[in-house]
Amino acid sequence: MREVRRSVYFVTQNKGKFREAAQVTAAFGISLKQLNTAKLEIQADRLTDVATFAAKTAAESRGSAVVSEDAGFFVDALSGFPGPYSSYAFKSIGTGGILRLMRGVTRRSAHFSAAVAYCEPNKRPVCFTGTAEGFVSKHERGSQGFGFDPIFVPNDGDGRTFAEMRIDEKNTLSHRAKAFAKFSRWYTSDRLT
């Protein structure tokens, strides 16, 4: 592995996402810088399509290398809802809406997924994914993290929701950390995909 000390822009307006991602990449010697501007997101059922399109357009318009991330919360009993549009679902019906839809539902399996895309100007984007399997809790628990974290219990944890964990704890389990770790390994290696 080469010694790399480089900084890369992460296009996001979400401070929570940025803090989580920066901690992961720092362990690989990559300094993330937040590019706090709106990115162009397409409507697509696949997170990888959303992330790669956003990275491509941001890299071209800015003229520099960027990473972009798209994540979603997928509840099996709701046919994957809220999925790629989790952000809007969170703003409108919130965690309470998901709990209402899941009232009386015994099949509570769900997962978070993330797609991280890296793009340089005039190059093709490269995309990395991560998933955290778990289930929807009966009630909200915890105040850390963001989005649907208070109602998601990862299978590989100790029963706490994501919102009951510190960033470094969540980063040992989360979809986002897995995707950013894959990106970081690739970025600090020979970059063959």
How many CA atoms does the CB half-sphere of 189 hold within 13 Å?
A: 9
Cβ closest to a copy of itself, residue 104 vs residue 159: 104
Cβ closest to a copy of itself, residue 29 vs residue 94: 94
Cβ closest to a copy of itself, residue 22 vs residue 77: 77
Residue 13 interacts with a copy of itself (CB under 8 A): yes or no: no
Contact pick of 13, 40, 172, 191 for a copy of itself (by CB under 8 A)? 40
Query: How far is Cα 4 from Cα 166, in angstroms, rounded to an integer?
Result: 28
Binding to a copy of itself in span 65-84, by CB under 8 A? 78-84
Residue 100 interacts with a copy of itself (CB under 8 A): yes or no: yes
Query: How far is Cα 101 from Cα 99, in angstroms, rounded to an integer?
Result: 5
- Among 94, 96, 46, CA closest to 72: 46
The least distance separating a copy of itself from the CB of residue 97, rounded to whole angstroms, comes to 6
Residue 97 interacts with a copy of itself (CB under 8 A): yes or no: yes
Scanning 94-102, 136-144, 154-162, 165-173 for contacts with a copy of itself by CB under 8 A, the matching segment is 94-102
Which tokens in the block code for residue 56? 């491509």
Query: How far is Cα 54 from Cα 77, in angstroms, rounded to an integer?
Result: 30
Residue 193 interacts with a copy of itself (CB under 8 A): yes or no: no
**Cβ(110)–Cβ(83) under 8 Å?**
no
The least distance separating a copy of itself from the CB of residue 182, rounded to whole angstroms, comes to 24
Cβ closest to a copy of itself, residue 54 vs residue 181: 54
| 70 given a catalytic annotation | yes
Residue 41 interacts with a copy of itself (CB under 8 A): yes or no: yes
Identify the burial level of 140 via C-beta atoms within 10 angstroms of its C-beta, where 0-12 means exposed, 13-18 middle and 19 or more buried. Answer: middle
Q: Which residue is associated with the tokens 């995909």?
A: 193
Residue 50 interacts with a copy of itself (CB under 8 A): yes or no: yes
Integer angstrom CA distances of residue 141 from 82, 150, 158: 19, 5, 14
Catalytic positions: 70
Residues of this chain that bind a copy of itself (CB under 8 A): 40-43, 45, 50, 78-85, 88-89, 91-93, 97, 100-101, 103
